[in-house]
A and B are shown apart, each in its own frame.
Chain A
Amino acid sequence: MIEFQDVSVVYAASHGIAPIEALQRISLAIHQGEFFTLIGPSGCGKTTLLNLAAGLRRPTKGQVLVGGNAIQRPRPDIVSIVFQEYSLFPWRTVLGNVEAGLEFRGVPAPQRRERALRYLRMVGLESFANAYPRQLSGGMKQRVAIARALSLETPVLLMDEPFGALDEQTRMVLGEELSRIFARTDKTILLVTHSLAEAVFLSDRIAVMTSRPGRIRKIIEVPVPHPRTPEFMTSDLFHERRDELFRLLHDEMRASVLGAES
C-alpha cells in the first residue's frame, strides 16, 4: 500500500552547514491493512520518511508510491495525517475542526456534519462537539485530531508521534483505543514513535532505523490480532519483542546522542 523505492533524502547545505544525508537508499513495502511502525533514534529521519508518504516532502532520489500512485504532493483523497502537535484550529469548535478537512475537500455541509459527528462518537468526544480546543486536555485534543483524520476516510493513515506530548497513562488508553479503531476499519497505518512499548503494543511490523543517515536496520514482526488488550502488555511475546527492540535501539541511540553532543 505504501512503497518506498530506493529512497534517499539529502538536505541541501545552508549557512555554512554541509549537506546532510537524512535517508539513505530505503526500500520498504507496507502492506494493505497493516499497522506499521518506524522507530529509531532522534534525527534518524523517521519523520522525514513519513513526510515523504504524506507528500509534504519529495525524495532526492527514488520514489514513493501510495496505493500505486507516485506521491508528488499531499493526496488528501488517499492519505490523512495526525501530527504530534495536534494542529487544531483554535477558533473552531471541536466539531468545526473535524469538519475542516471535509470542508477543504468540498463535502457539502449536511454530510460534513453527519460524518464529523460519527467520527467524534468513535473517539468518544461527541459530547464535546461544541467545545473549543483550549477547553480540552492534551489527550482529548489528540482524539479530535484523530477523528479529523479518520473523517477523511482515506485508506492510509499516517501518524507522526501522535502521543508524544501526552503522559504515560493517557498514551496507554489512546493506544488501546487506536488498536480498537484499527480493528474496525481496514486502514493501513504508518506510525512514527519513540516509545518501544507503544510500537510493540500497536504494530504488526516495526522497522528499526539506524542513526543518520537513516537506513532500515531490522524489521520485527508482532503477530497478534487487533484489537489488542492490556493483557497483551503482560504477555511473554510482548516483553520478548520489547527487549529485542531495546537491544537494537540502544547502540543506535548511543551513537546518535553522543554523536550529536560531540
Chain B
Amino acid sequence: MISNVKLATAIQSTTLLAVAIIWYLAAASRWVSPLILPHPFAVVAKLVELLGRPDTYHHLAVTIYEFTAAILLALLIGITVGIIAGTVRYIGELIEPLLLALYAIPIIMAFPLCILFFGIGSLSKIAFAALYAFFPIAIQTMKGLRHVDRSLVRAAISMGAGRRQLLAKVMFPAAMPVIMTGVRLGAVLGLLSVVAGEMLGALEGIGQKLSRSVEVFQSDEAFAWIMITIGLVTLVNISVGAVEKRYES
C-alpha cells in the first residue's frame, strides 16, 4: 500500500515535471509564439507582479465573496432539501427524479438568465454558482441519510433518542462521509461556476481578468490568473478535505 502511494506520487511528480520541461523548451526555443504560449519565467514574473498589486486582491476578494455566498446558499438550501427528501419517504420519492433530471441538464444554460434576472454584478454569479453547487449537495445528503446503518438508528431509539436527536446526533453524522462527497463536488463546481460566470459576463473578479488578458493577447497575465485560480481551487479542496477527515470511519 505504502509503496503504491510512493509510486503514484513519483509518477505524478514526474508527469508534472515533464509538462514543465516541455513547456519551457517549447517557449524558450520559440517553437510556439509567445502570444499563445508565454515563457514560464515570464508567467512567474507576472504572477509576482500581480501579487504585488492591490488591484489583484480586489478581484480576488470579489471572487472569494461570490464563491462564499454561493456555497453558503447552496449548503443551506441543498442540505435542507436533502434532509427532507432523505427522511420523508413520500416527498423523497417525489423529489428524487426531479433532482436527478435537473442535474443532468447542462446548468450553464441558466447563466444568461441569471444575468437577465440579477444583472452583471456579483448577484448573478452567486445565483449561478449556488444553483450548480446545490444539486450534488442535495442529492448526496438525500442518499447519505437514506443509507444510514439501521442498527445505529435502532440503538439510538432504544437509548431514548427523540426525532431531533436522532437526526442531529445519529443520522446526520452517520451520513456525513456521503454528504461530504457532495459538498466537495459542490464546492469545486461552485468555484468554477463563479470563475466561468465572471469570464462570461462581469466587470470584476479573477475570471473577468483572465478572459480580459486573453482578449488583449497578454498570455503571460492570463497564465498568471490561471495559477491564481488553481491556487484557490486547491485551497477549497484542502478545506473540504479537513472536514471530511473528521468523519472518516
Contacts and interface: CB of A to CB of B under 8 A. Distances in A.
A97 to B, nearest CB: 10
A105 B152 contact: no
B154 A89 contact: no
Contacts of B173: 89, 91
Contacts of A74: 157-160
Nearest to B247: A91
A237 interface: no
B161 A104 contact: yes
A83 B249 contact: no
A67 to B, nearest CB: 16
Given A89-B170, A89-B173, A100 B159 contact: yes
A59 B201 CA distance: 66
A152 B156 CA distance: 13
A101 B160 CA distance: 7
Contacts of A79: 158
Contacts of A91: 173-174, 176, 246-247, 249
Which of A80, A85, A87 has the most chain B CB atoms inside 10 A of its CB?
A: A87
B160 A87 contact: no
Which of B149, B159, B169, B249 has the most chain A CB atoms inside 10 A of its CB?
A: B159
Given A89-B174, A90-B249, A100 B169 contact: yes
A103 interface: yes
Contact of B155 (A55, A81, A105): A81
Contacts of A148: 159
B165 interface: yes
Given A89-B173, A91-B173, A105 B159 contact: yes
A105 B165 CA distance: 10
Nearest to A149: B159
A76 interface: yes
Q: Which secondary structure dominates chain A's binding surface? A: loop
B151 interface: yes
Given A76-B160, A103-B169, A104-B160, A87 B249 contact: no
Contacts of A55: 158
Interface in A120-156: 134, 148, 152
Contacts of B156: 100, 104
Contacts of A152: 159
B160 A56 contact: no
A56 B158 contact: yes
A154 B73 CA distance: 45
Interface string B136-171: 000000000000010110111111111001000110
Given A89-B174, A100-B169, A105-B159, A56 B154 contact: yes
Contacts of A90: 174, 249
Contact of A104 (B159, B246, B249): B159
A12 to B, nearest CB: 18
A87 B246 CA distance: 19
Given A85-B151, A89-B170, A100-B169, A105 B160 contact: yes
A54 B161 CA distance: 14
A56 B155 CA distance: 10
A121 B3 CA distance: 41
B65 to A, nearest CB: 32
Interface string A81-121: 10101010111000000001101110000000000000000
B225 to A, nearest CB: 40
Nearest to B159: A101
Closest 7 A/B residue pairs (Cβ): A76-B160, A90-B249, A87-B155, A101-B159, A104-B161, A87-B151, A104-B160
Given A76-B159, A104-B169, 17 more contacts: A56-B154, A74-B157, A77-B160, A80-B158, A80-B159, A83-B151, A87-B152, A87-B154, A87-B155, A89-B170, A91-B176, A91-B249, A100-B156, A100-B159, A101-B159, A103-B165, A105-B160
Interface of B: 149, 151-152, 154-162, 165, 169-170, 173-174, 176, 246-247, 249
13 contacts: A56-B157, A74-B159, A81-B158, A87-B149, A89-B152, A90-B249, A91-B173, A91-B176, A100-B159, A103-B165, A104-B159, A104-B169, A105-B159
